Amino acid sequence: MENEFKFNKEKLENAFIEFKKYSQEKRFKEDRIERNNRKVFFKEIIHEGIDELNFEHLIKKLWASKTWGNKDYLVSKIIKDNGIHKIRKELNFLIFNKTTTIGDRYERFLKEIKGMGPSMITEILCHIYPNDAGIWNDRARKSLTWLEVENVPYKKYKINSQEYNKFNEVLKKIAEILTGIGYKNVDLLFVDYFIWEVFNNFVKGFGTQTTIILKEDKTISRHDEIRDKLAQIGSWLGFEVETEKLIVRGSRVDTVWRARIANLGAVSYIFEVQDRGSIDGLIVNLQRSQTKSTVQKLIIVSDSEQMIKIKGAIEDLSENFRKAVVFWDIEDIENTYQNLEQVTESIEKLNLIED
């Protein structure tokens, strides 16, 4: 693995310098205590057994659920879509089955359980197996992008089992280096805190540049990633949200925001992510969705290049349809999501609600 681990040495050294400053601060000791407490919490919840109450506690404790405004809705939606018996079965396989690799168990859970993405699943694994499993999330991807780490598929939102295993090997190499320069008890959860410091010192505030790097490979679809980020943004704003929702017969859309407004009653906002595929198919799907009386706006999410093509394709359509359509640039969504994470962290520091 050593020969495969390639990175920008100057950037990594700069990251170590900033991490050393962090290690001399009071919050470093506080974070060590937090890490240990979190490991204990997740292991106790798993070994107690998963019922609806423990599953609720599990989901609400995840960093990956922080940007969800209504966590109760998130928990109930996951349970409704999968059933608590299936969730328990798959969590038990994810945690306790030792006949397959961690990557294989991660990929099975990702396929079997709706509503739990890579960041949630890998966070659970990391807290249970901190020496073997790391957390694959937006920050890790962008931080590794900045460090110019090779052989990591950081452009992908949903990685497969082999890619997750390779990612863990990269984190183990970083852990080895951190141990070599004097840090003690370095596991992959410790490395995750290192990655957070890389993000906070070198990536945050430079989201546009990092986003462009992530978007360079046009062969990789970002559809699911953007769909899920739209859902989290909507939830934080107080909307009821659903993904892959059937609106009317023949029209399934990526994300829906719903609310009840006094003078309008129930209203819905439809989001369709267009990073590839047929523009004609997109338009037909939105036209069908518009027949639903509660639909107020049809939001097309895409990049600037495709938006020009879509605007040209709808310019001769009915005025009623054109007025309902608005556009949201993917890059703007990335920046909104990143800012949302920062707002959430800032509010959390106030400790308004005790655990």
pLDDT in tens, 180-226: 999 999 999 999 999 999 999 998 765 444 443 455 556 678 899 99
Average pLDDT over residues 128-149: 95
Nearest CA to 168 out of 197, 142, 130, 111 is that of: 130
- Residue 278 near residue 259, CB atoms below 8 Å: no
End-to-end CA distance of the chain: 40
CA distances from residue 219 to 21, 69, 155, 208, 272 in whole angstroms, order as listed? 40, 33, 10, 20, 19
Is the distance from CB of 39 to CB of 127 less than 8 angstroms?
Answer: yes
Specify the pLDDT at position 351.
65
Residue 199 DSSP one-character state: I
* The CATH fold of domain 223-336: Restriction Endonuclease (3.40.91)
- Would you kindly state where each structural domain of the chain is located, as residue ranges? 9-218, 223-336
* pTM attached to this predicted model: 0.86
Q: What digits encode the pLDDT tens for the residues 246-292?
A: 999 989 999 999 998 777 678 999 999 998 889 999 999 999 999 99
